Structure 1
């Protein structure tokens, strides 16, 4: 009897050991998630622009053109018909000039120039008669007293400068005279010494482009159409 019971117990143990074990559930394998590419937004770019602008402003020295020490002039050829076609060059000058030069001494090409204004109603030459005719009839500067040059681009500036040396470069912009605006380019020779910036800027324009010539007085005088303009400036910081 005892043997029978042992046999039964052994059989039950075998059944238990052979029972189907539960299959572990298959869990999903996590996949790597790529981070989306971040595109700079305007909000992100603006601070960088502001920092760069602030750095330029911090390194900018403002030179103001000094009226009285600076001058603007015109040169135009005249033929006097009543004097056996005598040729002469008329020169008119004014010292009423205003403007600012924003020089970035650590990075000259980053420099800029504000509007330059010239009171052309104050132009004087060796002939008061000519000056009066310019103010009232030809240039009408009594009515349109200001010539304004708005610089748009400065080219040819060196990457660095040496104090006391002369540098040549070009300033392109819009010149408004007699309510007419035309693009012009000035050739500039400038020198920086201490807190004083000096230089000469020259260009050539046509009277006809601004609707003020060439001038002709029957039997007396004819002028050329081409005019040389010169700005000789002294600016201090």
Structure 2
């Protein structure tokens, strides 16, 4: 109030006299601008305070809303650790199944042991006969090296199919050409039946697994086919084993009659025995393969 009275007084003095004007304006102007600046800040302060009050109320209100999302962030971070757990679930399938696979075993190929004939191998017949020019009986021997075949064993030593020895009898020769011609044309009929076959069904007395050294005696049991006649026979066999190589001899005694063969009849031959021997001197290799 004093300030307002002072301002009014100064204004009245300025209206009454001209001499006081020079000093009055400078004195009056300064306080006037100061007053305005003083009043203005007061208004500004009020406005600021009002604004501050206005701003304070909304500013204080959001914190609760800001605080509420934070739990959500925490929940998300807690949710993530549980996701690795599914990765642990494949572990039961961690290849125990391939290891314990029965199917490859059931479908796997079986080992086969082959006893295969190789050169030199020779098949021969030995017939006891009495020649007219000799006082005593002698042995007529005819032979061929045209021999092939094998014995096939499974992993337990049992004989498999296709265990066969084959002899080409059309190539048999002896020391007497007339005998050879007769045996081929009349006894064996080799033009029509060029081969004699022995199908092996069983090996009796042979150690298993096959030995790698020493001499061993055993029986080859099977079916001998000459022309159209097949008979069961047993070949007595002796084999010398040396690592994967073998050398052996097998023999069997048969008759002309049982295989429907004619005995040789010539003027120079007095007699021929009913029985005769078949022999097989062979070399072989032991091989392992699969079927």
Q: Who is 2:244 aligned against?
A: 195
TM-score computed with the length of structure 1 as normaliser: 0.68
* Change beyond 3 A, Cα 1:215–1:165: same
Instruction: Provide the C-alpha distance between the structure 2 equivalents of 1:162 and 1:220, rounded to a whole number of angstroms.
Output: 46
The answer to whether the 8 Å contact 2:212/2:244 transfers is no
TM-score computed with the length of structure 2 as normaliser: 0.56
* Change beyond 3 A, Cα 1:122–1:132: same
* Change beyond 3 A, Cα 1:209–1:85: farther
The 3-state SS of whatever aligns with 2:193 is: coil
Q: CA deviation at 1:137?
A: 2.2
The answer to whether the 8 Å contact 2:117/2:283 transfers is yes
Instruction: Provide the C-alpha distance between the structure 2 equivalents of 1:194 and 1:159, rounded to a whole number of angstroms.
Output: 14
Instruction: Provide the C-alpha distance between the structure 2 equivalents of 1:191 and 1:160, rounded to a whole number of angstroms.
Output: 15
* RMSD over aligned Cα atoms: 2.6
Q: CA deviation at 1:234?
A: 1.1
* Change beyond 3 A, Cα 1:190–1:89: same
Q: 2:164 aligns with which of 96, 115, 129?
A: 115
Q: 1:65 aligns with which of 98, 113, 117?
A: 117
Q: Does 1:182 align with 2:234?
A: no
User: What CA deviation, in whole Å up to 9, does each residue of 1:52-109 have, x standing for no partner?
Assistant: x957x32x3323212x4101111011112x33664211011111111112246x75x4
Which structure dedicates a bigger proportion of its chain to helix? 2
Q: CA deviation at 1:173?
A: 0.8
The answer to whether the 8 Å contact 2:159/2:202 transfers is no
The 3-state SS of whatever aligns with 1:133 is: helix
Which structure dedicates a bigger proportion of its chain to strand? 1
Q: Does 1:152 align with 2:204?
A: no
Q: Does 1:100 align with 2:150?
A: yes
The answer to whether the 8 Å contact 2:256/2:263 transfers is yes
The answer to whether the 8 Å contact 1:188/1:200 transfers is yes
The 3-state SS of whatever aligns with 1:110 is: coil
Instruction: Provide the C-alpha distance between the structure 2 equivalents of 1:127 and 1:217, rounded to a whole number of angstroms.
Output: 12
Q: Does 1:166 align with 2:215?
A: yes
Q: CA deviation at 1:218?
A: 5.6
Alignment of 1:52-91 (within 5 A): 57-58=110-111, 60-66=112-118, 68-80=119-131, 82-83=132-133, 86-91=136-141
Instruction: Provide the C-alpha distance between the structure 2 equivalents of 1:187 and 1:54, rounded to a whole number of angstroms.
Output: 36
Instruction: Provide the C-alpha distance between the structure 1 equivalents of 2:171 and 2:192, rounded to a whole number of angstroms.
Output: 12
Q: Does 1:232 align with 2:281?
A: yes
Instruction: Provide the C-alpha distance between the structure 2 equivalents of 1:70 and 1:168, rounded to a whole number of angstroms.
Output: 19
Query: Tell me, which stretches of 5 or more residues in structure 1 are unaligned?
Result: 1-46
Structure 1 stretch displaced more, 209-218 or 150-159: 209-218
The answer to whether the 8 Å contact 1:77/1:90 transfers is yes
Q: CA deviation at 1:211?
A: 1.2
Instruction: Provide the C-alpha distance between the structure 1 equivalents of 2:269 and 2:212, rounded to a whole number of angstroms.
Output: 51
